[in-house]
Amino acid sequence: MKTKTLLMSAAIATIASFGVSKAQAEDLTLCWAAWDPANALVELSKDFEAKSGNKMHFEFVPWPNFADRMLNELNSGGKLCDLMIGDSQWIGGSAEAGHYVKLNDFFDANGIKMTDFVPATVTGYSEWPKHTPNYWALPAFGDVVGWTYRKDWFARPELQAEFKKKYNRDLAEPKTFAELKDIAEFFQKREIDGKTVYGASIYTERGSEGITMGAMDVLYSYGFKYENPDKPYDMKGFVNSPGAVAGLDFYKSLYDCCTPPGSSNGYMGEGIDAFKSGQVALQMNFAFTWPGFENDPNVGHGKTGYFANPAGPNGEKFAQLGGQGISVVSYSTKQKAALDYIKWFAQPETQQNWWKAGGFSCLRSVVEAPDFGKSQPYAQTFLDSMAIVKDFWAEPSYATLLQDTQKRFHDFVVAGKGTSQEALDGLVDDWTKTFKEAGKI
């Protein structure tokens, strides 16, 4: 009886630590994209359920439909989602439209400090306006575009010898985009183990955001800038600079020379399939894919290597930021319980378990730990990549800006319409019109 009483007291104390009692327990719904990290979060959240008494439900939508489905939900004031892990580009529109609860007071009251999180993720996932201490989300899932390669193929002595004879260097992780293209050309239509393989899988999808995420991942390192650093929304000569033009030309050349047949509309899922099935030597994709490769029977267990974006022609290195923050939806009638979830998720123990489960923590005490870089084969590449990130516009009108980019890039890179200079000049015109209509110019 005494033991039972002690256990009951301990359970009550644990529940009380989150400010929730069994009598106040809520059914909460968290909305996110349908992908592997979401499945890991379902398992992780069982700890929250046990400690709080709340019951978690999940609404996961495939990536191609995620933005349309969830932004419609927010714009209609829907009450489906109590918590939203929304994409990084939504933060401006969701803050200004009142879709998300501002979290500053909650963070202050509960000792949650944004300085405890990787700075790039705070800027990318939480702040609006950017570079101001106004927070609408807690960094939830760090993600960035990087590269995987067939480490086992690179290690073959006959391929090493042939590559070195041709290029006068070792077949190894590329240091520049020029070297990356050499490797892709080297493997294009090569026969390995009786099967024809190809150089690289890159993003070309037109419908949502794919080709933008892929092309920008290269353009940044070639000198592309969204605007004049000294004059907001002054884009001429920055979006369409000579460096940006060269970067878009490079992206098209990589598509033309070195991708598998049928690669005209590929994004994350297609890249995963191409790499796991042994079609390609190199693959561009977000870091969230990496844990899945490690356990795959075809490409796991030492067969896959990882590297951050290589340098452009002037030595600059940047990478496209992915990832998301977790927000409390302002239309929820269960905001207190939803805030309890945020508090639980922010705890160092939870964040450490999140990393172990396959989530990419943004908490500095996790990712800056001395042994983090060796905790997984891809951990150091994740750190190196997150140190060089840039992101697409997070403006409230981002959806229109993105649609224009998708069309301009796909028409040039895939359809071969016009020149890179014309594509980027047109993009300046598109974006200028949008910002004028929004009253920004």
Per-domain residue ranges of the chain: 25-143+322-390, 145-320+393-437
Which of these, 91, 119, 116, lies nearest to 388 by C-alpha position? 119
Confidence at residue 90, expressed as pLDDT on a 0 to 100 scale = 94
Residues 374/382, Cβ–Cβ less than 8 Å: no
The H or E element spanning position 410 is: helix 398-413
Q: Spell 296-314 as b/e; 16+ CB within 10 A means b.
A: eeebeeebbbbbbbbbbee
- Residue 437: both structure tokens together: 């209509």
Confidence at residue 24, expressed as pLDDT on a 0 to 100 scale = 75
Q: Residue 280 phi/psi, 5° resolution?
A: -130, 155
Residues 340/21, Cβ–Cβ less than 8 Å: no
Prediction pTM value? 0.92
Task: Report residues of the chain scoring pLDDT below 70.
Answer: 1-23
Confidence at residue 17, expressed as pLDDT on a 0 to 100 scale = 47
Which of these, 109, 92, 50, 76, lies nearest to 336 by C-alpha position? 109
Which of these, 344, 332, 331, 324, lies nearest to 106 by C-alpha position? 344
- DSSP string of 305-316, one letter each residue: EEE---B-TTS-
| Superfamily of chain region 25-143+322-390 | Periplasmic binding protein-like II (3.40.190.10)
Round to whole Å and give the CA distance between 384 and 123: 17
Which amino acid appears at position 205 of this protein?
A: E
Which amino acid appears at position 240 of this protein?
A: N
The H or E element spanning position 273 is: helix 268-276
Residue 281 is classified by DSSP as E
Fold of 145-320+393-437: D-Maltodextrin-Binding Protein; domain 2 (3.40.190)
Confidence at residue 21, expressed as pLDDT on a 0 to 100 scale = 45
Confidence at residue 189, expressed as pLDDT on a 0 to 100 scale = 98
Confidence at residue 13, expressed as pLDDT on a 0 to 100 scale = 40
- Residue 248: both structure tokens together: 């878009």
Predicted confidence (pLDDT) per residue in 335-381, tens digit:
999 999 999 999 999 999 999 999 999 999 999 999 999 999 999 99
Confidence at residue 64, expressed as pLDDT on a 0 to 100 scale = 87
Q: Spell 396-423 as b/e; 16+ CB within 10 A means b.
A: bbbbbbbbbbbbbbbbbbbeeeeebeeb
Alpha carbon of residue 354 to chain centroid: 16
Q: Is-same-fold flag (25-143+322-390; 145-320+393-437)?
A: yes
The 3-state DSSP class for residue 192 equals: strand
